[in-house]
Structure 1
Amino acid sequence: MPMSPLDHDRRYGELDQVVRAYAGQPADDTPEQAGRALTAYLRHTWHTRPWALATAERQLREYAEHPPGRLRLKLGEYYAIPDVGLADGEIQQWLRCLADHVRRSIEEGDAPPPAMPVTHWEWHARFPETGQFLAGWFSQDMPDEFADHDAAVEDYRASTDPQLVARLVGELRELLTLGLEESDYALAVAELGMEVDPPAPYGPSAWLSLVADRLSNPRAEYGPAPQESP
């Protein structure tokens, strides 16, 4: 029978995070240099969950040294490596290479410096609530679901826990402090799931700033007018 979620995470949880970082990226790591995807994983993990790196190194090496045998394959009790563009016979050596890079990074304290995300995985790992917001409320179906962008923003506010709304505001502020070119902000919102243009006359960065300002202010609630004293 397939593994339980708990067993999966104990054996392969961080290995899965590393491999997911390769979505849309080549497995082009060499013994001398980590590739783009692994560098993105190292950069984000060093600055958010540095303790997870040792787990990643161990799980990568254990899977490379002890790939699932016939019985585990038959029972479905194993982690299936997604297609990363390598032949089956190359996977184990590639995993060892990744484990070596992670170990070297830990032992030498070599953390990639903060930078603009460079992969789809890194954008979503660094700005998860922004991804939920843009992909959930500003997909290509947005014009059919809402009267305009403001209505979509207000629907997000009304249907989302205030703590998550506050998290989104923080992420938007962080995104804006990257100081990117406008074309890079257009790339950012596309990577994070936005499939419609910002409302005229705003560019992506100006609109994100407007959204952050609006969501950081309490929504106005209108009650009955106060009665005058006789």
Structure 2
Amino acid sequence: MNRFISIFTRGAPLALAAGLFATACVEQPPSDNLSRPAPVIDDPTTDFENQPGVFAGDEDNTHSHMGDLGNGVYKDPFEVLAQRQEEGPPEVRTRLHSCQKLQNAALQNVLVSLGVNIDATSDVPTAGQLYKGGTGALGAASYDARVGEAIVWSAAGAAKLFDIFVQAAPEIITNLPNVEQCKVDGVGVEMFDANDQCNKDAISCIMGRPATDSHVAICNKVVTSASTVEMGKRIAVGTMMAAAHSCE
């Protein structure tokens, strides 16, 4: 019993000291180092780039553009309007300088689909011979030189295209009634009627788009203007096809 009292007596001061220390820690106010910092308010109007007049221009740091982006000569708006009206509606005007060249493989497909024998040969070069021998002028690819096929027309290419269509015209005229895509209600169409007048449905087929009365008038004019009717028919077919496939 005395031993228990002795142990309790020695431990009581230690327990009391620990309790007082814990109480002091709890009641001690937080130091300034633990306080929450005041929020920082960012004012964007004080940034350099937001200062008024920083990027303002004057005569010393501003480029004056020409009134016209063409040759440097200003054009009156009404003059530009008259030029646009002379060139035609937008669907015509935009095709004057923005037509992609008919790819050579597509040209061959057009000829074959209209009944042209691409492999025919003759002393007078056939359309197939002109096509195969004129791939350079038509802008064919040169893969050895790492050059792809041309995508725009050249003067030589457009002239070669016309030559091919004119040379192919007799075959096209002869075979057109048997061409499936040219038939109307299952009936083939003739390129020219008994009076040597151009057939509107036939023109639509060789051009790949609906023909207008103007197309028919041009076709008939070409036929009657040639030295002979047969020569006129060949030139008419070549003219209509070359114009249609070169965006003219």
Q: Does the alignment reach a TM-score above 0.5?
A: no
TM-score range (shorter-chain normalised) is under 0.3
Structure with higher helix content: 1
Larger RCO: 1 or 2 (CA < 8 Å, sep 6+): 1
Q: TM-score, normalised by structure 1?
A: 0.25
